[in-house]
A and B are shown apart, each in its own frame.
Chain A
Amino acid sequence: MSDTFQLDGATVPFELGQTVIQAALAAGSYIPHLCYHPEFKPHGSCKLCTVKVNGRTVASCTMPAEAGLQVESDIEELNALRRTLVQMLFAEGNHFCPSCEKSGNCVLQALGYDLEVHTAGFRHLYPDRPVDASHPDILLDFNRCILCELCVRASSEMDGKNVFALSGRGITKHLIVNAESGKLVDTDIALTDKAMQVCPVGVILKKRVGFSQPIGERRYDKSPISAQALQDAPRNPETGGSCDACESVP
């Protein structure tokens, strides 16, 4: 029998080594998240999954589950924080949903809808982030990067390639590729790489397949992300297997 903790009044069982979000998602309780991905080691950078554990705010993706914890997640105070964090990510990059190939399949956009982010909240920073169209089959649109490092992690942990890395510091932090020219075409990326599938937003795109799904049939047109994330959840990082969110991307 495994131990349990309390999440918003519900009892959540967990196994040793699981973090709060892993146990919660496995038990069918949704906690909003962005940089956390069931197939990778928790990262803890986006802070969307912030919860209150015994009254203290922590990122639930990196917080080890312990017996008897009192965890609060779906409360207005935390959802207000998450709303601000989503606003920050929108203001930091250049996100134009109507013209984005990933619209409807984008995790950031889906979270925005689900958390009811109705306003911009901040003045946009409008960073200058030129696209990289050097590769014949793959486009990189850095304007939409939210610095979750999923592609960095996928490329190094699963593809064994290190195609991506983060460069710079603070607000100037940005995604780079592993080539002296700085161009994707000079890396060893392949369309079959896991790194091609994990981008939650519209940075890493397969060329010539944009807007392939009509509005109404896209992933998050069907049901909100809070419902769909649970389908991907109960996967053990060790046993592998890919999640629906990755596969659904054209």
Chain B
Amino acid sequence: MTKQTHRHADCLDPILGRYGHDASNLLQILRELQECVGYLPAVSITCLAEKLAIPRARIESVASFYSFLHLQAHGEYRVLFSDNITDRMLGSVELMQSMCRQLWVEPGKVSEDGLVSINTTSCTGMCDQGPALLVNGRAITRLTHQRVQEIAQLIRNRTPLADWPADFFRVEDNIRRSGLVLDNRLVPGEVLRAALSMSVRGSTGSPRTEIGTAVVEAIKQSGLRGRGGAGFPTGLKWEACRNAQGANHYVVCNADEGEPGTFKDRVLLTRQADLVFEGMTLCALAIGAKQGFVYLRGEYRYLLEPLQAVLQQRRDSNLLGRNILGQSGFDFDIAIHLGAGAYICGEESALIESLEGKRGVPRNRPPFPVTHGYMQQPTAVDNVETFCQAALAIHMGAENYKAIGTAKSSGSKLISVSGDCPRPGIYEYPFGVSVREILQDCGAVNTRAVQISGPSGVCVAEHEFDRRLGFEDLPTAGAFMVFDDSRDMFEVARNYVHFFAHESCGFCTPCRVGTSMLKQTMDKIAAGLGTQYDLSEVENLDHVLQTTSHCGLGRTACNPVLHTLKYFRPAYESRLKSLEFKPAFDLDGALARARQMTGRDDAGAHLKTEAT
């Protein structure tokens, strides 16, 4: 305790100084405090509450919401195995068991010497180079039994993370097919210069208003739609935000890439950070924002310093800061906020709550973020890829951009391919590409199904492989998980159901309880205790979740089961002991224990058989 008290006292004041003693930065403060102290001891929370003048229960409430923040000590080394189905298909379950054995620790518990804890976490976005894990927040990819052995040894020797082999932490970009975005060689500032030279015919506004209007119009004409999955027209969003009244306008880049199977934003932030920031600055110009945020998922913590370096270069080149590129009054800067392990923060209003230092609970809507977003001010929240596409649309011109893709889906789309194929990685295609073409390009054979856009998306079976990616047919945020004919689609669905139950924020009754009930049902079927009744119960649950859930998580939570039931029903039915009623518990087994305890063995202590 004394050690912790000293440590938190040393850490806390500089952190609070950096964040201006502002409780709206609570999540960032907690994250940094934990990086310094190791976890968040009760005494630190009390101290922080006093210094921020907020109730300590509120801090505990926020800290407990995020998977990567810990109110209890969790070992000097905290190992979290990525638990996406693609990791499992590459052997993550056995690797984790092996590491637990080697380090004498049970999953989910801290070793007795306080050295290590090992558990699972939701997909870490390394599906093309799994199995993957996080150790004290740092991503390690391409796990093998040998690598697991080496890691166990390093932990046993208490080797500081900084001294671990650099190769462990190497993250590949795996770009297999590039296009519009990944091929671009724009010089930083080129798009902004082009935008600043735009003007509107007949406009009577000030130059900056005029340019902003021109940018919005061009984005509208380009037909650009959001790349986060929902596909809302970006130009309309920017226009609504621009027209909304407010003291400040904000640009938010959603880099909370949590949908299992998606990792294209990681590659964009690694390879095209300038383009992302250029798109955000363009948006700032369009909507009149002075402040932007990147909400970066905690799993991508290792990208923080490189991204900050790019931001600094842009400040040094007058691409951020005051009077950008000499345009008077064009002031804009970007701050990076890190998430801490909560999938729901990918939902834009939950993301804003999290940015404000609160629990990531989706807001009641209306009002929408474009009018009442960050700090109740007009806010444009867009996906990482959307900002890249917006910058390119302005650079190419709306008409040229619109010519790419299909009628209702202009431009290109980055696809994150993982699962059963020899060439997993990032593939960029114009919209309209068919599932079959992607499967051919990644070398997949004997494919049984593809999960498009992650667990909340759709499962596509063989007879549908000519369907095309785009808002007309198969909208996608980019995940493309391939399953060949050796895979059990029931286990795929069960993995996704566990994911939703783990990630439900717990705000509304249907999702909080319903996702757990669904998980219970899937586990019951997996244990061979399922019945036909359970399958129909899934459909009832789906109806309740779809119609009453607060946000998209609950509304889509049953999709994995419904879609796989539709195409792969035998995978379920083969597990049902009987298609008729079967009790979920063994009645005679329970009686046997009672007989033993009471010493009875008379007829009354046995189940009546049909003969009697």
Contacts and interface: CB of A to CB of B under 8 A. Distances in A.
Interface stretch (B161-169, B500-508, B571-579): B500-508
A147 interface: yes
Interface in A34-87: 42, 44-48, 50, 57, 59, 62, 64, 81, 84-85
Contact of B57 (A162, A168, A171): A162
Given A85-B510, A170-B501, A125 B64 contact: no
Contact of B540 (A84, A147, A168): A84
Given A57-B548, A169-B504, A171-B501, A45 B58 contact: no
A123 B550 contact: no
A145 to B, nearest CB: 12
Interface in B532-553: 540, 543-544, 547-550
A122 interface: yes
Given A46-B509, A85-B548, A180-B42, A170 B61 contact: no
A27 interface: no
B506 A170 contact: yes
B310 to A, nearest CB: 33
B516 interface: yes
Contact of A44 (B510, B520, B547, B550): B550
Given A50-B547, A81-B548, A164 B57 contact: yes
Contacts of B66: 169
Interface stretch (A8-16, A88-96, A99-107, A215-223): A88-96
A164 B55 CA distance: 10
A120 to B, nearest CB: 12
B45 interface: yes
B56 interface: yes
B364 interface: yes
Interface residues of B, number: 43
A89 B547 contact: no
B550 A168 contact: no
B57 A165 contact: yes
Contacts of B403: none
Given A85-B548, A162-B55, A180-B43, A171 B60 contact: no
A124 to B, nearest CB: 10
B366 interface: yes
B209 interface: no
A147 B547 contact: no
B387 to A, nearest CB: 29
B61 A92 contact: no
B522 interface: no
Contacts of A179: 56-57
B61 A167 contact: yes
B43 A171 contact: no
Contacts of B56: 178-180
Interface in B325-369: 342, 359, 364, 366
B55 to A, nearest CB: 4
Contact of B509 (A85, A162, A165): A85
Contact of B45 (A91, A162, A180): A180
B513 interface: yes
A190 interface: no
B512 interface: yes
Contacts of A122: 513, 517
A235 to B, nearest CB: 21
A164 to B, nearest CB: 7
A199 interface: no
B544 A81 contact: yes
B84 interface: no
A91 B509 CA distance: 11
A177 B42 CA distance: 13
Contact of B505 (A162, A170, A176): A170
Contacts of B67: 169
A208 interface: no
A179 B505 CA distance: 24
A133 interface: no
A170 B502 contact: yes
Interface in B64-94: 64-67
Nearest to B58: A165
A45 B60 CA distance: 21
B509 A88 contact: yes
B46 interface: yes
Contacts of A118: none
Contact of A147 (B46, B64, B501, B506): B506
Given A64-B366, A162-B58, A180-B42, A171 B513 contact: yes
B547 A88 contact: no
Given A91-B517, A122-B517, A180-B43, A171 B512 contact: yes
Contacts of A50: 547-548
B60 A81 contact: no
B514 interface: yes
A182 to B, nearest CB: 8
Contacts of A64: 366
Given A45-B507, A165-B57, A92 B513 contact: yes
Contact of B64 (A57, A88, A168): A168
A172 B501 CA distance: 10
Nearest to B584: A123
Contact of B547 (A45, A57, A62): A57
Contacts of A180: 42-43, 45-46, 56
A151 B245 CA distance: 35
A165 B510 contact: no
Max chain B CB contacts within 10 Å: which of A64, A173, A176?
A173
B520 A123 contact: yes
A165 B62 CA distance: 10
B515 interface: yes
A176 B547 contact: no
Nearest to B41: A180
A169 B540 CA distance: 24
Given A122-B517, A125-B516, A180-B43, A166 B510 contact: no
Interface string B384-418: 00000000000000000000000000000000000
A89 B453 CA distance: 32
Given A88-B517, A165-B61, A180-B42, A171 B544 contact: no
Contacts of B503: 170
B303 to A, nearest CB: 25
A64 B367 CA distance: 10
A81 B61 contact: no
A177 B56 CA distance: 9
A186 to B, nearest CB: 11
Contacts of A46: 508-509
Given A168-B506, A176-B60, A180-B56, A88 B501 contact: no
Nearest to B513: A88
Contact of B515 (A59, A84, A170): A170
5 contacts: A46-B509, A170-B502, A170-B506, A170-B515, A177-B57
Given A88-B513, A170-B503, 7 more contacts: A44-B508, A45-B508, A50-B547, A169-B65, A171-B512, A179-B57, A180-B43
Interface of A: 42, 44-48, 50, 57, 59, 62, 64, 81, 84-85, 88-89, 91-92, 122-123, 125, 147, 162-173, 176-180
Closest 6 interchain pairs by CB?
A165-B57, A173-B506, A178-B57, A162-B55, A88-B513, A170-B504
